[in-house]
Amino acid sequence: MKQSIFSHRYDNGLVLVAEAINSLESAAFTFLTPAGCAFDPPGRAGLASLTCDLALRGSGELDNRQFIEMLDNLGVERSEGVSDSHTSYSGAMLAGDLPQALGLYANLLRRARLPAEEFEACRQVILAELQSIEDDPHAKTMIELRRRHLPPPWGRSSHGRREDVLAATRDDVRGQYARLYRPNGCILGVAGRIEWEPLRDQVGKLLADWQPVPEVALVEGQTGPRVDHVPYEGHQTHIGIAYNSVPYRDPKYFQAWGAVGALSGGMSSRYFTEVREKRGLCYTVYASYNTLRDRGTVVSYAGTSADRAQETLDVMLGELRRLAEGIESHEIDRLKARIKSSLIMQQESSAARSSAIARDWYHLGRVRPLDEVSRLVDELSCESINAYLSENPPGNFTVLTLGPEPLKVAR
């Protein structure tokens, strides 16, 4: 069988991982730079997002307008974002335009202009995003939940804090860029119609002489209160629940993920059936799995009317505790069907696959082929998931409510 997944580590620490999918006409890339919001210095929460935005506004000989026009002329569908660990820059295009697009982003990573005249515009973008969160109780609930459940700096919001964004300067951005935009710790994932050796050589010409910078050490703090309330005017209450689980790299990850899939995923899931369908307590209720490199977290959310909030919380906690009793065969069958559908769609998207292989490398130090993931899904069973749940029952919940009145949490 012809090899389709490749990897190469350059002397400066940069890792290139690639998957050739010759059935596609497109190619996509994802740069994961070790410049996440966890590295924002004290009093400068939001600096990673400011740096991400300003870095996009011109690099090398290209100013802001020229840079965007070149991407548009290539037809690059781009995205960027800041997570706890990384700032990511991604693009998808026709395969023949990949070399030129990679050259543009190599310049961004190494020679961003960070123009002074664009700094205030970037600040206003971040401030507008912060204001939109204040007007979005769902988003605010989940941000405040993470802030309490995870130890700093992992519970930070990438948007930062208004007072810190207002205090930030262009010199702060330049310092952040200099210490965090580095090859050691940077991962480039490429997927689609590619040829491995020319790609490896081109990336080497662009980035192999990029000089490494010492890594920034992080010190974890203490988690917040396990039960808390944020006053918020209105007639609704928003509920967030979090508990610890295993990270993606853990051998039991798929069992843990499968349990959450039975809880929330589709109109036959336990949350949908018990909270929404049977009792009509809310319109939106879900659980999702979030993973950092060394820890996993399951988070749940529901938005409901204030007068039914206590019942909603009680039912959600009841379903989480009942999960420890195990899942049934019909639940695992639906779960597998959903996952297989997702895997097929990922294989048909170079953008999704470039992101997935880059993140695989970060979490595992290798890329999981889709057929391996499919096998792991096929091996899921009620017995394996229930054995995991018996040893790792959901518990020690962090509960955050946002609304007119606090709720009671039965322990």
In a domain, 410, yes or no: no
CATH number, domain containing residue 307: 3.30.830.10
Q: What is the mean pLDDT of residues 320-339?
A: 85
Instruction: Judge whether residue 164 has pLDDT over 70.
Output: yes
Same domain, 232 and 201: no
H or E stretch at 72: helix 64-74
Q: For residue 248, what are its two tokens?
A: 């993606």
Confidence of residue 2 (pLDDT cuts 50, 70, 90): low
In a domain, 162, yes or no: yes
Same domain, 125 and 66: yes
Same domain, 127 and 46: yes
Mean pLDDT over all residues of the chain? 94
pLDDT of residue 305: 95
Q: Are strands 236-245 and 58-59 parallel, antiparallel or unpaired?
A: unpaired
- Boundary-marking domain end, from 207, 240, 272: 207
pLDDT of residue 333: 81
In a domain, 411, yes or no: no
Note the pLDDT tens digit of each residue in 239-295.
Answer: 999 999 999 999 999 999 999 988 987 777 889 888 988 898 888 999 999 999 999
Same domain, 236 and 365: yes
pLDDT of residue 190: 98
- Boundary-marking domain end, from 143, 175, 207: 207
Question: What's the number of domains the chain is made of?
Answer: 2
Same domain, 183 and 329: no
Instruction: Judge whether residue 3 has pLDDT over 70.
Output: no
pLDDT of residue 109: 98
Residues 6+ away with beta carbon under 8 Å from 341: none
Domain limits at 313? 227-403
Closest of 165, 159, 162 to residue 139, by C-alpha = 159
Confidence of residue 344 (pLDDT cuts 50, 70, 90): low
Same domain, 254 and 122: no
pLDDT of residue 364: 96
Q: What is the mean pLDDT of residues 383-391?
A: 95
In a domain, 263, yes or no: yes
Same domain, 200 and 232: no
| Dist. CA 39–CA 49, nearest whole Å | 11
Q: What is the mean pLDDT of residues 364-386?
A: 91
Confidence of residue 1 (pLDDT cuts 50, 70, 90): very low
Same domain, 251 and 201: no
| Dist. CA 257–CA 128, nearest whole Å | 35
In a domain, 9, yes or no: yes
Same domain, 166 and 263: no
Q: Please provide residue 145's backbone torsions phi and psi, each rounded to the nearest 5 degrees.
A: -65, -50
Q: Which residue has the higher pLDDT, 218 or 333?
A: 218
In a domain, 202, yes or no: yes
Instruction: Judge whether residue 197 has pLDDT over 70.
Output: yes
Instruction: Judge whether residue 338 has pLDDT over 80.
Output: no
Residues 6+ away with beta carbon under 8 Å from 151: 220, 221, 222, 223
Same domain, 250 and 383: yes
- Boundary-marking domain end, from 175, 207, 239: 207
Q: What is the mean pLDDT of residues 383-387?
A: 94
Query: Which of 313-323 are b and which e, b meaning 16 or more Cβ less than 10 Å from the residue's Cβ?
Result: bebbbebbeeb
Note the pLDDT tens digit of each residue in 19-61.
Answer: 999 899 999 999 999 999 999 999 999 999 999 999 999 999 9
- pTM equals 0.94
Instruction: Judge whether residue 14 has pLDDT over 50.
Output: yes
Same domain, 332 and 257: yes
Q: What is the mean pLDDT of residues 114-121?
A: 97
Confidence of residue 347 (pLDDT cuts 50, 70, 90): low
In a domain, 213, yes or no: no
Instruction: Judge whether residue 362 has pLDDT over 90.
Output: yes
Q: What is the mean pLDDT of residues 322-336?
A: 85
pLDDT of residue 282: 87
Q: What is the mean pLDDT of residues 150-173?
A: 97
pLDDT of residue 117: 96
Same domain, 238 and 339: yes
